[in-house]
Amino acid sequence: RTGALEVGLYPVPALVAVDRILRGMNIYLLPHEWDFAFYAAMAWQSVIMAIGITLRIGLLRLERDLARAKERSLGELAQTDGLTGLPNRRAFDERDWRGGDFLAIVDADHFKQINDRHGHQAGDRVLAAIGAELRHSVAVDRGCLAAFRMGGEEFALLVAARSEDEAALIVNAVRQRVCARVASLVPELAAPLTVSAGVARIGKGGIDAAYQAADRALYKAKNAGRDRLCYEMEQRGTALMFPRRKHAA
Q: Are 189 and 222 in contact (CB under 8 A)?
A: no
Nearest CA to 125 out of 186, 76, 184 is that of 186
The model's pLDDT over 10-20, given as tens digits with 9 standing for 90+, comes to 566 666 667 66
Confidence (pLDDT) at 68: 77
3-state secondary structure (DSSP) of residue 239: strand
Cα→Cα distances 33→10, 12, 16, 46, Å: 21, 15, 12, 21
Sequence-distant (≥ 6) Cβ neighbours of residue 149 within 8 angstroms? 81, 83, 84, 86, 87, 88, 89, 127, 131, 155
CA-CA distance, 13 to 48, in Å (whole number)?
A: 12
Confidence (pLDDT) at 70: 74
Own/partner long-range contacts of 223-230 (Cβ < 8 Å, ≥24 apart): 226/109, 226/110, 226/194, 226/196, 227/109, 227/194, 227/195, 227/196, 228/196, 229/168, 229/171, 229/172, 229/175, 229/196, 229/197, 229/198, 229/199, 230/196, 230/197, 230/198, 230/199
- pTM beyond cutoff 0.75: no
Q: Is 188 noted as a catalytic residue in this protein?
A: no
Confidence (pLDDT) at 33: 62
DSSP type of residue 112: H
Mean pLDDT by 10 residues, the chain (249 residues): 51 66 67 64 76 85 80 71 94 93 96 94 96 96 96 96 94 95 94 95 94 95 94 78 57
Confidence (pLDDT) at 38: 63
Confidence (pLDDT) at 248: 41
DSSP type of residue 87: B
Confidence (pLDDT) at 78: 83
Confidence (pLDDT) at 235: 62
Confidence (pLDDT) at 247: 44
Confidence (pLDDT) at 154: 97
Confidence (pLDDT) at 205: 93
Among candidate residues 133, 153, 164, 232, the one labeled active-site is 153
